[in-house]
Structure 1
Amino acid sequence: MYNKITKIAIAFIIIMGIQSCDEYLEVLPEGQENSENFFNSEQDYQDALVGVYDLLSTTYLNNILGEIASDNSLCGGENPTDVLDWQQIDDMTHTPDNGALRNIFQWMYAGISRANYIVEFQDKINFDGKEELLAENLFLRSYYYFELVKFFGDVPMYTDGRITIEESQSIDKTPAAAIYAQIEMDLINAIPLLPWQQAQSGRATKGAAWALLGKIYLYQDKFTEAAQAFNEVINSGQYQLVQNFSTIFLNSNENNQESVFEIQYSGSQDGASFGCFQCVEGNVAVGFMGPRFQGGNFSPYGSGFSFNIPVQDVVDLYQAADTRLAATVLDMNAFVAARPDVTFTEGSEHTGFFNLKYIPYADDNVLPDANINRSNNYRAIRYADVLLMAAEANLRAPTAIANPQTFLDAIRDRAFGDTNNRITATLENVLAERRRELAGEGHRFFDQVRTGQTSSIPGFTTGKNELFPIPRIEIELAGNRWEQNAGY
């Protein structure tokens, strides 16, 4: 990703002492190869920033769990114990010993730690473009902290630089409100220094920062502030809806005019393996989500492991003329009926449907394990998402600052290809439209939690499952100072 300067990224990881993500606190080795001797040129800072961007690849796990935990999909897999950590999250039986949740906790902190190394040495030398680089770094740190707060609520906050193991055992969890305040400030400081457009795809822009800030406000019910932030994105004129919905998620249409922030996955370098999921270069989630094809001509798709299976209720959301259904869900019965030579194996919890937005393609695999590495970029923030969040924020603000009907109309007009299917911009309609527009993209569970619409999630316990548990081993490593989330 970001031209994936692998040898530079690996060198930087070695210098920074990252130990295979076994610990999220990264302690520098003794000796001369440390960061005091590393940040001596502009290139050193650029290489360090590549290291911060690189951890975005691991958010494939956040995204697939955002669907599996919701009412949009079932875990699937080969059998009910296939990737047991995911199965437990689907069934809402997860515990503080869930390995997937620990991975998220560690990987997000790894990204934060890399960002903090740059912050610690940000004043060491000066060079042209330094302010923009530091602004990108703050955006990325904000992104990682937001993911942590979404999943876990109150978590420890580190902002100044390296943390030793000894120090980690004396630091308490920070209230989510204080973390939100910090990332709000970081984004507000970063926005003036970021450009609207970057020469390199996937790098943080002014629009991405405004959109992330607006989303953070929305999650805190700061609706006026959220509406104002989304207005900056909308009024910038930098983004447009892709006219044909069915093309948005094609690998040939990455970083398109609707992409506000897109996580880049590589199809040309070694990626994750079953022995090293943190070695991700390809999109691991996509490799897991494909059908279990066995034979015949199933081009252009590739085979997968049948996880994240859309349910019938999702299919039933769409009207017959809504073009989004055919671009969101692959109906395997219809697919095989049109191609009788195609054979596949039904996995666990088979519904006959697969996530077409992030389906593997036959020509996009990444070695060494092609079945779990695909080059599909993740559209982290789409302009359509911004429009729907703006509609919601204006409906819920004490006084609207923009017309939510305009935003909802734009989404519906694109979906149906005409202006004959518009509906009134009520809060209920906007939230329902979010589900239709964004199905399969990893937002659903968190939308349900923040809007109190969790009753349709099987096994969900109010007062408990709004947050996931802090990994038990992380609490123990921190000297048992951190209180566990309620219900766990």
Structure 2
Amino acid sequence: MDGAYMRFTPILLDVRGDDVRSNSPWTAISNVGKFSLGTSDPAGYGWAFDEYYEGIFRCNQVLDNVPAINMDTAVRNRIIGQAYFLRGLYFFHLVNMFGNVSLPLTSPKTPAEFFVKQATPDVAWKQVMSDFKTAAALLPVSYTNISGPDANQIGRATKGAAMGYLGKTYLFNKMYQEASDQFKAVMALGIYGLVPNYKDNFTEANENNKESIFEVQFSTTVGGTDLGWQGVPTSTWAKTSARAITYGAPNFGWTDVQPSFALFNEFQQEQTTGGQVDPRLDVTIFYNKPGEMLYGQLFSVVYANSSYLTDIFCRKYENGDGNKPNEFDWKSGINERLMRYADILLMYAECQNELNNRAECATYIQQVRTRVSLPDRTAEFSGYTQAQMRDQLGHERFLEFGLEGHRFDDIHRWGWLQDATKLAWLKQRDPEFNSYQPGRELYPIPQGEIDNNPGAKQNLSY
């Protein structure tokens, strides 16, 4: 649905980072990066808020009713495990984006039960941890070696996904040993790895590969033909993503979201062992380089004699390799990769730095660098101070996950918005940070929730 992974959840996760900018005429998008959303119009952020709770409502129906159904125990456990995982994921987004949020844990039976008082972030994070822990205990490592109606159904939540998100939740709460243990357990499953070609993580042809921990499944051939915007899903809805048209380059999409020049420039700070530019640049960004093609056309020809010739545009998750003429059908089948194995490695590395295991940290950073042929700097990184390593991790994550919705979460988690020096640096790189004010790291609670739920209060600064 539009507020979730179809379009607005990527926008809400992406646009506030210094890897992304927005000049969209639609303020529901452009004001995200400027920290200037108001409470009078809930377009975008309010849709996401609503749809997370729709998902939670459906998860609670499963958790309330499936345990009593007479069915195969293993199948029942998997169904319940998936419900806990998805509820944990929706709660994760809610507390991370909105702060004080309601935590409905059962299906409402009376009108009064629809109104659940907000919980503090501490309480909400504990619920997220609980849901992911329960999910991890119930879910299989894979669906390829099971029997039942869900056998071989790739894309469902797995034990690795639940452990990965549990580790991420611990990390966001500075529980570094607990997070480290979860990431190590994901690695120990022995089924994940880095794909040799970085680009394979963002194309329709190479979905659900060995690097994928969890991804949202989209398809241009499944379901109906109607675009799924808001409301109750129907069988006529297509199972497609609208990210590609929203982020698409001019003439091929709406260009509501663009990469920042800070990201473009940082890719060029270090060459590969072969003396080339970091190959992740050409996977992440369309720009005017010799022979650059997008949608089967030369960049230099498409944008000749226009300001676009010297501008840069999103390439990740775009159908720009010539297989489509543009994105104006609104329908992309490229899966949204929510968590990749590279993230497990770099989050584990971050934990090791915080636990003062600098050599271990350096080893895992280098694994991600080696995939894109960057020089082996393990020995150098091992000699870094904790503060130096934090900055190096910031650089490595910036380039590995550009346009993937991680950067602002990193900035927020690392306390950069409260650090005057770091905040000034962010403002220099991305002028959108000039309008940041304390409290705006959270989105506003939609006014409709305030009006309808007596237990809901607005976030500070709104």
Aligned to 1:371, the other structure's residue is in SS state coil
**Aligned partners of 2:3 and 2:44 also within 8 Å:** no
The residue number in structure 1 matching 2:360 is 403
- Deviation per CA, 1:70-94: give whole Å up to 9, x if none: 11111134xxxx2221111122111
Secondary structure of the residue aligned to 2:215 is strand
Call closer, same or farther: CA 1:55–1:231 in 2, change over 3 Å: farther
User: 2: distance between equivalents of 1:365 and 1:183?
Assistant: 42
Give the match for residue 196 of structure 2: 243
Name the CA shift for 1:420/1:355 in 2 (closer, same or farther; >3 Å).
same
Letter in 2 for 1:172: K
CA–CA distance in structure 2, aligned partners of residues 91 and 253 of structure 1: 35
3-state secondary structure, aligned to 1:458: helix
Aligned-residue offset at 1:448: 0.8
Looking at structure 1, the residues matched to 315 and 329 of structure 2 have their Cα atoms a distance apart, in angstroms, of 16
Match of residue 309 from structure 1: 258
- What amino acid maps onto 2:298 in structure 1? R
The offset of 1:307, in angstroms, is 2.0
In structure 2, the residue matched to 1:445 is 408
Distance across 1 between alignment mates of 2:449 and 2:60 = 20
1:214 Cα deviation after fit: 0.3
* 1:117 and 2:117 are equivalent in the alignment: no
Residues 218, 462 of structure 1: CA spacing in aligned structure 2 closer, same or farther, 3 A cutoff?
farther
Question: d(CA) in 1 for partners of 2:298 and 2:309?
Answer: 19
**Counterparts in 2 of 1:25-36, with a 5 A limit?**
none
Q: Does 1:219 align with 2:200?
A: no
Give the letter for the 2:353 counterpart.
L
2:178 and 2:346 map into 1 onto residues whose CA distance is: 15
1:250-289 equivalences under 5 Å are: 250-268=203-221, 269-270=223-224, 273=227, 279=237, 281-289=239-247
Looking at structure 2, the residues matched to 122 and 163 of structure 1 have their Cα atoms a distance apart, in angstroms, of 17
C-alpha displacement of 1:242: 0.8
Identity %: 27
- Structure 1 position 333, deviation (Å): 5.7
Aligned residue for 2:347?
389
Query: Aligned-pair distance for 1:183?
Result: 2.1
Deviation (angstroms), 1:459: 3.1
CA deviation vs aligned residue, 1:389-436 (integer Å, no higher than 9, x gap) = 111112113x65992122101011112266368751612111221111
CA positional deviation for 1:281? 1.9
Amino acid at match of 1:285: R
Match 1:463 to one of 431, 434, 438: 438
Contact between 1:207 and 1:233, CA under 8 Å: does it hold in 2?
A: yes
Q: For the residues of structure 1 that align with 2:305 and 2:13, how far apart are their CA atoms?
A: 23
User: After superposition, what is the alpha-carbon deviation per residue over 1:137-182, rounded to whole angstroms, capped at 9, x for unaligned?
Assistant: 100110111011111011011012236443334x310112112112
For 1:430 and 1:208, locate their aligned partners in 2 and report how far apart those are by CA, in whole Å.
23
Cα distance in 2 for partners of 1:420, 1:305 equals 40
SS in 2 for 1:117: helix
214-223 vs 122-131, which moves further:
122-131
SS, match of residue 313 in structure 2 = strand
Structure 1 CA distance for aligned equivalents of residues 352 and 177 of structure 2: 7
The answer for the alignment partner of 1:358 in structure 2 is 317
CA–CA distance in structure 2, aligned partners of residues 143 and 223 of structure 1: 20
The answer to whether the 8 A contact 2:95-2:101 is kept is: yes
Residues 99 and 418 of structure 1: CA distance in aligned 2, closer, same or farther (over 3 Å):
same
Alignment of 1:393-432 (within 5 A): 393-397=351-355, 400=357, 403-416=360-373, 419=376, 424=381, 426-432=389-395
Aligned alpha-carbon RMSD (Å): 3.0
**Greater shift in the superposed pair: 93-102 or 222-231:** 93-102
Structure 1 residues not aligned, in runs of 5+ = 1-53, 294-302
Instruction: Note if contact 2:167-2:183 (Cα within 8 Å) is conserved in structure 1.
Output: yes
Contact 2:288 2:309 in 1 (8 A): no
CA deviation after TM superposition for structure 1 residue 445, in Å: 1.2
Which has the higher mean CA deviation after the structures are superposed, 435-444 or 179-188? 179-188
Q: 1:192 aligns with which of 122, 137, 140?
A: 137
> How far is the alpha carbon of 1:364 from its aligned partner?
6.6
User: Corresponding residue for 1:137?
Assistant: 83
8 A contact 1:228–1:401 mirrored in 2: no
Letter in 1 for 2:53: Y
What is the CA deviation profile of residues 333-370 of structure 1, one whole-angstrom value per residue up to 9, with x for unaligned ones? Answer: 6526983784259999996212211113464799xx95
Structure 1 match to 2:22: 75
Match of 2:275 in 1: none
CA shift, 1:186, in A, is: 2.0
Judged with a 3 Å threshold, the aligned counterparts in structure 2 of structure 1 residues 431 and 123 are, in CA distance, closer, same or farther, namely: same
Q: Where do residues 341-380 of structure 1 align in structure 2 (5 Å cutoff)?
A: 342-344=301-303, 352-361=311-320, 363=323, 370-380=328-338
Q: 2:49 aligns with which of 96, 102, 105?
A: 105
Matched, 1:230 2:177: no
Check 1:164–1:451 CA distance in 2 against 1; reply closer, same or farther (3 A cut).
farther
More deviation, 208-217/427-436: 427-436
Determine if the alignment matches structure 1 residue 90 to structure 2 residue 49: no
> Which structure 2 residue ranges, 5 or more long, are not aligned?
144-151, 273-277, 383-388, 418-422, 427-431
Distance in structure 1 (CA, Å) of the matches to 2:85 and 2:451:
30
| Residue pair 1:310, 1:351 contacting (<8 A) in 2 also | no
Are residues 1:482 and 2:421 paired? no
Please give the alpha-carbon distance, in whole angstroms, between the structure 2 residues aligned to 1:441 and 1:163: 39
The partner residue of 1:329 within 280, 285, 288 is: 285
CA distance in 2, matches of 1:346, 1:144: 46
Does the 8 Å CA contact 1:272/1:282 hold for their aligned counterparts? no
Deviation readout 1:217-256 (Å, 9 max, x if unpaired): 0111111111111010112211010112133212111111
The DSSP-based 3-state class of the residue aligned with 2:137 is helix
Distance 1:348 1:448, change over 3 A: farther
> Given the alignment of the two structures, is residue 166 of structure 1 paired with residue 112 of structure 2, yes or no?
yes
Q: Which amino acid aligns with 1:74?
A: R
Q: Is the 8 A contact 1:289 1:304 kept in 2?
A: yes
1:270 & 1:423 partners in 2: Cα distance?
Answer: 54
TM-score scaled by structure 2?
A: 0.82
- Give the corresponding residue for 2:126: 181
| Residues 205 and 437 of structure 1, relative CA distance in 2, 3 Å threshold | same
Question: How far apart, in 2, do the equivalents of 1:418 and 1:450 lie?
Answer: 28
Q: Which residue of 2 aligns with 1:47?
A: none
Counterpart residue identity of residue 450, structure 2: I
The one-letter code matched in structure 1 to 2:55 is G
Does 438-447 or 176-185 show the bigger shift?
A: 176-185
Query: Whole-Å Cα distance in 1 between the matches of residues 450 and 136 of structure 2?
Result: 35
Partner letter of residue 85 of structure 1?
A
